């Protein structure tokens, strides 16, 4: 075969392959559109029924009608029903749970937890979580070690929804594991467990793994565990890992107890890492203790931007005393240094730096005040 002949054959093969590929794409799209149209046709009457039940009308006939829907019709609205299940509460949620339970959704979901398809596993975990099935605690805890990261996240969220404090340890244990769940997902799930998780969270502050201690410290603040203040104060003072101390500082600000003032002021000292000092400065603002004003004022000229910035913003949160300190710091930039013979001598650079942070905070407060005035 000549070179020209070979090229012609290759060109023919390429054109043929392109045509086949194009035909496959068109066929695929047509099948998908047909399926979607069929699904929409089936879903239309059922969707209104679903909305009526999700609206919390408490009409037994409508619930019964939804329970008796043929499987293909139910499948067409099931994804909407699952979505609504997680977004409503009260009688609407109870009615939807009733429908799911009577359609055997919990049993079906449990059987799907070990499917090869990660989407099926995630969907099953979500259904069990939304149904609040406490008997699904163990299988969902197992899913926290799933090879698929999305499945692990759905399992963690579902455990939060179920609200059984027995999930506390397994959720915390995922943080330092080979297959971790993001810390914010774990923290949100633990927060949903509420005060029932407090004991396990307090114990977790002694865990040898730093991510576990940091998350436990964070969540104790989010659930408002005022009884944990002393233990969190110890973590702020003595934990060897800065991330844990930062979380402890944040939590003490959230808890807002008076005893937190001293350890937070101590954490402002320059020998501590800047990230901890900045968080302590912020937490003192949350705490709202006017007696913290001198310590915060002293930080306005701090070499670390975040520390000085947070100190200025926290002073604002202390009310009149804090604002007065900021105004005074700003004013010092316009005062000629005492005993200076030179009338043009600039104030100390530290004074200028402190004044700049004070000015920025006061300007932000002024903007905020103006914006509030526009709100009727």
Site for another protein, rule CB under 8 A: 47-48, 51-52, 54-57, 80, 83-84, 86-93, 368, 371-372, 374-376
Q: Phi/psi zone of residue 183: left (φ > 0), alpha (ψ -120 to 50 degrees), beta?
A: alpha
Q: How far apart are CA 18 and CA 9, in angstroms?
A: 14
Closer residue to another protein (CB): 55 or 75: 55
Closer residue to another protein (CB): 131 or 355: 131
The CA-to-CA distance between both ends of the chain, in Å, stands at 87
Compute the least distance from the CB of residue 235 to another protein, in Å. Answer: 22
Compute the least distance from the CB of residue 33 to another protein, in Å. Answer: 19
**What residues contact 14, with CB distance under 8 A and at least 6 apart?**
none
Compute the least distance from the CB of residue 241 to another protein, in Å. Answer: 25
Compute the least distance from the CB of residue 93 to another protein, in Å. Answer: 7
Q: How far apart are CA 318 and CA 55, in angstroms?
A: 44
Q: What's the token pair of residue 157?
A: 């969220």
Compute the least distance from the CB of residue 83 to another protein, in Å. Answer: 5
Closer residue to another protein (CB): 239 or 279: 279
> Rounded to the nearest 10 degrees, how much is the dihedral formed by the CA atoms of 290, 294, 297, 301?
-160
**What residues contact 294, with CB distance under 8 A and at least 6 apart?**
325
Using alpha carbons, list the distances in angstroms from residue 35 to 43, 75, 76: 12, 12, 10
Closer residue to another protein (CB): 271 or 373: 373
Closer residue to another protein (CB): 287 or 301: 287
Compute the least distance from the CB of residue 217 to another protein, in Å. Answer: 17
Phi, psi for residue 257 in degrees, rounded to 5: -90, 150
Chain centre to alpha carbon of residue 272: 28
Closer residue to another protein (CB): 66 or 295: 66
Q: How far apart are CA 313 and CA 299, in angstroms?
A: 11
Closer residue to another protein (CB): 2 or 373: 373
Compute the least distance from the CB of residue 61 to another protein, in Å. Answer: 16
The string of DSSP letters for 231-292 reads: HHHHHHHH-SSHHHHHHHHHHHHHH--GGGHHHHHHTTSTTS-HHHHHHHHHHHHHHT-GGG
Compute the least distance from the CB of residue 319 to another protein, in Å. Answer: 16
With H, G, I as helix, E, B as strand and everything else as coil, classify residue 347.
coil
Closer residue to another protein (CB): 92 or 316: 92
Q: How far apart are CA 312 and CA 310, in angstroms?
A: 5
């Amino acid at each position: 075969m000549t070179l020209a002949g070979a090229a012609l054959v290759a060109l023919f093969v390429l054109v043929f392959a392109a045509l086949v590929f194009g035909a496959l794409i068109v066929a695929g799209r047509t099948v998908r559109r047909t399926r979607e149209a069929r699904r929409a046709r089936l879903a239309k009457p059922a969707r209104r029924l679903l909305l009526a039940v999700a609206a919390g009308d408490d009409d037994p006939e409508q619930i019964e009608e939804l329970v008796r829907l043929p499987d293909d019709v139910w499948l067409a609205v099931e994804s909407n029903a699952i979505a609504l299940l997680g977004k409503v509460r009260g009688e609407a949620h109870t009615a939807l749970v009733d429908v799911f339970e009577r359609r055997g959704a919990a049993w079906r979901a449990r059987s799907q937890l070990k499917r090869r398809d990660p989407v099926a596993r995630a969907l099953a975990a979500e259904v069990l979580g939304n149904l609040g099935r406490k008997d699904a605690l163990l299988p969902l805890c197992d899913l926290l070690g799933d090879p698929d990261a999305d499945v692990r996240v759905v399992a963690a969220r579902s455990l939060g929804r179920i609200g059984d404090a027995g999930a506390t340890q397994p959720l915390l244990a995922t943080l330092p594991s080979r297959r971790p769940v993001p810390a914010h997902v774990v923290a949100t799930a633990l927060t949903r467990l509420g005060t029932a998780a407090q004991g396990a969270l307090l114990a977790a502050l002694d865990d040898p793994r730093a991510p576990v201690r940091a998350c436990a410290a964070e969540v104790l603040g989010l659930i408002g565990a005022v009884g944990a203040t002393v233990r969190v104060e110890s973590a702020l003072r003595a934990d060897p890992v800065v991330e844990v101390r930062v979380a402890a500082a944040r939590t003490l600000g959230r808890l807002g107890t008076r005893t937190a003032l001293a350890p937070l002021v101590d954490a402002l000292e320059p020998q501590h890492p800047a990230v901890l000092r900045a968080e302590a400065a912020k937490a003192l603002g949350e705490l709202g203790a006017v007696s913290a004003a001198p310590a915060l004022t002293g930080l306005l000229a701090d070499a670390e931007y975040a520390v000085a910035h947070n100190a200025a913003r926290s002073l604002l949160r202390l009310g009149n005393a804090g604002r007065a300190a900021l105004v005074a710091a700003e004013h010092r930039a316009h005062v000629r240094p005492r005993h200076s013979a030179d009338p043009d001598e600039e104030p100390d650079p530290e004074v200028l730096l402190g004044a700049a942070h004070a000015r920025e905070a006061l300007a932000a407060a002024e903007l905020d005040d103006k914006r509030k005035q526009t709100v009727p």
